[in-house]
Chain A
């Protein structure tokens, strides 16, 4: 029943419209039908530029094997019998690679069809084409060409089929996740998701990327599904493996605005009530699955591979079955290919993979690194987390830390590559140069890329060659790439964080287990006061500028009070503070005491009606005074001004004399405020007041005697 096509057939209709779309086949047929997979060998983004200018991402070597081989091996081992590989960018290269690989041998259990089109711009386009060509007849697996995994999805598939049988095609997709706690190395910050699910049915209720969010919001309607147990999970790593029903392709056709799987998932969840489609998830605990979506991920996945987390896909397994790819595995995860020569005194500490025909000089120190085939490395070289591809030449006294060096690159004497540097194809660096962190060097000129921005996806090798000619005209900058260097510096990838730039940032965000995220905690209450204070300040400022009547100011402050839910007491304290700080606000903090009082006292006079509106009861007076005190405790250089302020407030009848006296006698709670009260000026004024009031009421005696 299955027609086997010579692989390499390009786009075209594989099956005539013999079968109806998405028809429910009987169980028996289901068993007979081969498991299909759709492999998207294009990322539809430019994260790997400029590396992917010369080689499509799926063909980039990871552990000296092209990434697409991992994906195909994963699919085959999980039981896929028919794979459709969709290529767009540099499709010829991918086709050539696959034609040479074991997947295209007649014995391959997995029949690979290659479909190329220059018109694919997103995953959505690919799936719409799947629908148009009527390629899939049953549940299929959807992966990208850069997924590295050893997960056995057969159980997930079984669950998926079972759900579909029970619920009449309601479940359209089962996403595969791997459990890994936040901060895990292979978790990609950009891909971090939070998932709300129904604990019993494993149904996805809410799916959200968390990048840049501080608070996670879950709408109430997701909790209305009759179940009483939900789970919110942040310990999931998205493997970018999904088991899809045939409807998925149709849904992409129906919703022509769906571009990515993310669009699709969100769309399904939002329209769940209307369309009745559901998405489920499958969580594996011990499998390995990750998508190489940026260099950060490349770094971690590559190391995971060397550390054998992807077993049985290990470097020495040579699963691609290619001549000469074999290597030996010795302890501390050191792998050596054929004909590797190692100089005297060189150390391979741990997690090192060295490809065939590579020679390493003397006294080198290599750890956590992958070195490709036919490389030469000089003496006294330090490599840590270096990813070197094929035919790389490294001279002596070079240090490379967490960097990627592509095919044919040459690193000359005494060069130091700091973290997250990228040397793209055929770049020459040095000698005697230290590249700062995050430097990207390519033979392509960065501006050339802008020029052919429009037809970026129309990738023709010809065109690249053509543009190369153009760039030749521009000279290399020896200050950037060294006296003998060849290549152009691309924008340092780490410095730009704008949204637009992020798409081009090769390494992606660094995983910071940001401990500071705590500090945002419960800031809302505080900031509420703060914003209120700013609002009050703004109101008063405007009042001064536009000569607004105090009554109106009071009205505005009152409405602010309700808007921010501030108590009357706080309003008064904040008001006092704002007014007293007003001179500092306007003229800077370097005011002398004299200047301060000079500008403050008229203000007090202007705003006294506002004060009077809020300060009425005896307690209000005390609260106001304590606010004054608090402020002057902070501004200790201006303590002498306090007396004048108090005096003025008294004269303006904002504060009552009794309140001031009471505050003076009782309020001292700590050393500092006692100090404040001892202040000469304050003392004198107080005693003055005391006398006055004693004259008034002789009964007030010795209450504040000192």
Chain B
């Protein structure tokens, strides 16, 4: 076992509370599959047989009981529950399972939907005997209109500055715009070692990391680090170029401890590798004759995807975009065999119809996802929408660009445009709801119904 996979599925989805109010984020349906299925599938495709899933009690219960969230994966899932209200970060979670970690780990977030070639990241990790290797991708513009939002959302978010070397692989610098009051400050010694640094801003972090075991051990000793992305990764990136400080020593020491205590093959390899590196004339840079990696023992690498799908489903916009793209990721029939679809209705090729759905006559469904056990009556028009499980849509409805959560009932003749309808809501017949109404009012508040 070279790498252990760890799936972080305990996040609350705080950036899309409208959706996660009733359904925990890992179980949100994307293309009629729970979100967590995508990273699991990614791991399964590259041959992982076992994965540690860090999640909450609630999710665990739903996975084991709810038939709608069936995870058809063959991997062995080792579910580890953490306290939901303990406000644990990803690094805390990793620390929590330290006992289970026997080798280097591959940490994946549950909201990652990607067709990335995972081996690229792992190869960097292996080839350079790296401490950390991670996946990033060019940021995507979300084109779809988001329910409840007027116009286009301004990208007022702070940019991440990522500095890589000339080859585009070695991670040299990482900071958020918010922390850079004094501008980008780079030590000259780094520039001496890596005279060309590309600074990229339009990247998203896929939250997929390969980490050395020693890093996990290091986490166990340093309890102040609570988030992988927020604290650990910037810390490791920074520490690459500092010698004789405490923490790399800690990591070094653990390296050595590994060698001393552990007489298994991998650590002997490590020693041998080190010797090879010392004796060989190979180095990883041009321009000077110093040792490979300039003698540094801590190395961070990044694989940046130029093309392909890579989404983190952590906002409503990303969720909608992911639903639109999800069908491309797996080749299953768009219409589930158990769905009852009337012959006299129109279903676009880019739509998905879930299991045991009932679609009646004269219905038109375009660019939409219809969840499991949903009933769609006559003369309904659904475009650009996501309908979750168990929804009933009465006759003559027109739904456009909206998200209808589970078990909602849409009254006959309702006209819904760019709305988000919360789960188990009832929309009155002939209601006309569009973007001008604040969607939150109809999401949570059962008593407050919007009608004409």
Q: Which residues of A contact B (CB under 8 A)?
A: 180-184, 194, 199, 210, 213-220, 223, 228-235, 513, 517-522, 525
Contact of B192 among A220, A232, A234, A525 (CB under 8 A): A234
CA distance A184 to B289 in the complex (A): 11
The contact of B243 among A214, A220, A235, A518, by CB within 8 Å, is A518
- Are A220's CB and B180's CB within 8 A? yes
* A-B CB proximity, top 7 nearest: A181-B287, A235-B195, A228-B202, A522-B242, A234-B191, A234-B195, A230-B199
Besides A220-B183, A521-B241, 10 more A-B contacts (Cβ < 8 Å) are: A215-B186, A216-B191, A217-B182, A219-B183, A230-B198, A231-B196, A232-B197, A233-B195, A233-B196, A522-B245
If the complex has contacts A183-B192, A183-B287, are A521 and B187 also in contact, measured as CB distance less than 8 A? yes
**Once the chains are docked, how many angstroms separate the CA of A513 from the CA of B288?**
10
What's the least CB distance linking B381 to chain A, in Å?
A: 40
B200 touches A214 (CB 8 A): no
Nearest CB on A from B207, distance (A): 20
23 contacts between A and B (CB under 8 A): A181-B195, A181-B286, A181-B288, A182-B192, A184-B287, A215-B185, A217-B183, A218-B184, A220-B177, A230-B198, A230-B201, A231-B199, A232-B163, A232-B196, A232-B197, A233-B195, A234-B196, A235-B287, A513-B192, A520-B187, A521-B189, A522-B242, A525-B245
Partner-A contacts on B (CB < 8 A): 161, 163, 177, 180-189, 191-192, 195-202, 238-239, 241-245, 286-288
Q: State whether A216 touches B242 (Cβ < 8 A).
A: no
**Nearest CB in chain A to that of B180: its residue:** A220
What's the Cα separation between A520 and B184 when bound, in Å? 18
User: How far, in whole Å, are A233 and B186 apart by their CA atoms in the complex?
Assistant: 12
How many whole Å from B88's CB to the nearest CB in chain A? 23
Partner of A194, one of B181, B185, B191, B238: B191
Asked if residues A183 and B183 are in contact (CB atoms below 8 Å), the reply is no
Whole-angstrom CA separation of A217 from B186 in the bound complex: 6
In the complex, which residue of chain A has the Cβ closest to the Cβ of B182? Answer: A217
Which residues of B lie under 8 Å from residue A525 when comparing CB positions? 245
CA distance A184 to B195 in the complex (A): 12
Closest to A522 in B: B242
A573 to B2, CA, bound (A): 44
Minimum CB–CB distance for A496 against chain B, Å: 24
- Which of B201, B245, B288 is A182 in contact with, Cβ under 8 Å? B288
How far, in angstroms, from A215 to B188 measured CA to CA in the complex?
5
Contact (Cβ within 8 A) A214 B287:
no
Q: Which residues of A contact B163 (CB under 8 A)?
A: 232
Given A228-B200, A232-B199, residue A223 in contact with residue B188 (CB < 8 A): no
B residues less than 8 Å from A183 (CB atoms): 192, 287-288
Docked CA distance A233–B287 (Å): 13
| Given A228-B201, A521-B243; A217-B195 close (CB under 8 Å) | no
Q: Which residues of A contact B189 (CB under 8 A)?
A: 214, 517-518, 520-521
In the bound complex, how far is the Cα of B288 from the Cα of A218, in angstroms? Answer: 26
Closest partner residue, chain B, to A219 (CB atom): B183
Q: How far is the CA of A462 from the CA of B239 in the complex (A)?
A: 63
Given known pairs A234-B192, A519-B243, the reply for A199 and B198 (CB within 8 Å) is: yes
**Are A216 and B288 closer than 8 Å at their CB atoms?**
no
Docked complex Cα distance between A214 and B202 (Å) = 28
| A223 with B243: CB separation less than 8 A | no
B371 → A minimal CB distance (Å): 37
Bound CA span A154–B279, Å: 45
Contacts of A220 in B (CB 8 A): 177, 180-181, 183-184
Contact B286 A216 (CB under 8 A): no
CA–CA, A522 and B185, complex, Å: 13
Complex Cα distance A194/B187, Å?
12
A230 to B173, CA, bound (A): 13
Closest approach, in angstroms, between the C-beta of A530 and any C-beta of chain B? 14
CB of B185 within 8 A of CB of A216, answer yes
For residue B138, which residue of chain A has the nearest CB? A228
User: Considering residues A182, A218, A232, A513, which has the most beta carbons from chain B within 10 angstroms of its beta carbon?
Assistant: A232
Note all chain B residues with C-beta closer than 8 A to A521.
Answer: 187, 189, 241-243, 245
Task: Report the minimal beta-carbon distance from A656 to chain B, rounded to whole angstroms.
Answer: 27
Complex CA–CA separation, A234 to B197 (angstroms): 8
Contact of B188 among A184, A231, A517 (CB under 8 A): A517
* CB neighbours of A181 from chain B (8 A): 195, 286-288
* Cβ-defined contact, B241 with A213, below 8 A: no
Kindly report which residue of chain A lies nearest to residue B166, judged by CB atoms.
Answer: A235
Q: Knowing A215-B185, A217-B182, A232-B197 touch, does A517 contact B192 (C-beta < 8 A)?
A: yes
B295 to A: closest C-beta gap in Å: 9
What is the CA–CA distance of A214 and B185 in the complex, to the nearest angstrom?
10
User: Distance (Å) between the CB of B53 and the closest chain A CB?
Assistant: 35
- A513 proximity list for chain B (CB < 8 A): 192, 288
Query: Nearest chain A CB to B136's CB is how many angstroms away?
Result: 12
Q: Tell me the smallest distance from the CB of B293 to a CB of chain A, in Å.
A: 13
Closest chain B residue to A515, Cβ basis = B290
For the complex, what is the distance from the CA of A183 to the CA of B288, rounded to whole Å?
Answer: 7
A515 to chain B, nearest CB (A): 8
The answer for the CA separation of A213 and B188 in the assembled complex, in Å, is 7
A353–B353 Cα distance when bound, in Å, is 84
Q: How far is the CB of B140 from chain A (nearest CB, A)?
A: 13
Q: Are A218 and B183 in contact (CB under 8 A)?
A: yes
In the bound complex, residues from chain A placing their C-beta under 8 Å from that of B192 are 182-183, 234, 513, 517
**A232 B186 Cβ-Cβ under 8 A:** yes
A residues within 8 A CB of B196? 231-235
**Contacts A223-B161, A234-B191, A521-B243 hold; do A217 and B185 have CB atoms under 8 A apart?**
yes
| Chain A residues in 8 Å Cβ range of B185 | 215-218
Give the distance in Å from the alpha carbon of A507 to the alpha carbon of B184 in the complex: 34
Q: Which residues of B contact A234 (CB under 8 A)?
A: 188, 191-192, 195-196
Residue of B nearest to A184 (CB): B287
Given A182-B195, A183-B287, A219-B183, is A210 in contact with B201 using a C-beta cutoff of 8 Å?
Answer: no
Q: How distant is the Cα of A232 from the Cα of B197 in the complex, in angstroms?
A: 5
Query: Which residues of A have CB within 8 Å of B287?
Result: 180-184, 235
Q: How far is the CA of A181 from the CA of B163 in the complex (A)?
A: 18
Q: How far is the CA of A203 from the CA of B318 in the complex (A)?
A: 34
Q: How far is the CB of B138 from chain A (nearest CB, A)?
A: 9
Cα–Cα, bound, A219→B195 (Å): 19
- B183 to A231, Cβ gap below 8 A? no
Give the distance in Å from the alpha carbon of A324 to the alpha carbon of B239 in the complex. Answer: 62
Chain B residue contacts of A519, Cβ below 8 A: 243-244
Say yes or no: B242 contacts A229, CB within 8 Å: no
- CA–CA, A643 and B241, complex, Å: 43
| Set of chain A residues within 8 Å of B180, measured between Cβ atoms | 220
- Bound form: Cα–Cα A216–B288 in Å: 21
Residues of A within 8 A of B238 (CB): 522
Nearest-neighbour CB distance to chain B for A211, whole angstroms, equals: 10
* Cβ of B145 to closest chain A Cβ, rounded Å: 24
Q: Which residue of chain A has the shortest Cβ distance to B139 in the bound complex?
A: A228
Assess whether A215 is in contact with B187, with CB atoms less than 8 Å apart.
Answer: yes
Q: How far apart are B175's CB and chain A's nearest CB, in angstroms?
A: 11
Nearest-Cβ distance from residue B234 to partner chain A, whole angstroms: 14
Q: How far is the CA of A199 from the CA of B177 in the complex (A)?
A: 19
Q: Are B188 and A217 in contact (CB under 8 A)?
A: no
Residues of chain B within 8 A (CB-CB) of A184 are 287
- The CA of A194 and the CA of B185, in the complex, are separated in Å by 12
Q: Which of chain A's residues has its CB closest to B287's CB?
A: A181
Bound form: Cα–Cα A519–B188 in Å: 12
Q: How far is the CB of B434 from chain A (nearest CB, A)?
A: 34
Q: Which residues from A are CB-within-8-Å of B243?
A: 518-519, 521
Give the Cβ gap from B251 to chain A, nearest Cβ, in Å: 14
Given contacts A216-B185, A217-B185, contact A182 B191 (CB under 8 A): yes
Task: Point out the residues of chain A lying under 8 angstroms from B184, CB to CB.
Answer: 217-218, 220, 223
B161 contact set on A, CB distance < 8 A: 223
Contacts of A233 in B (CB 8 A): 195-197
With a cutoff of 8 Å between Cβ atoms, the chain B residues found around residue A213 in the complex are 188
A223 pairs with B182, CB closer than 8 A: no
Closest residue to A231 on the B side, CB-wise? Answer: B198
Q: CB distance B245 to A218 under 8 Å?
A: no
Among A184, A199, A223, max chain B CB count under 10 A is at A223
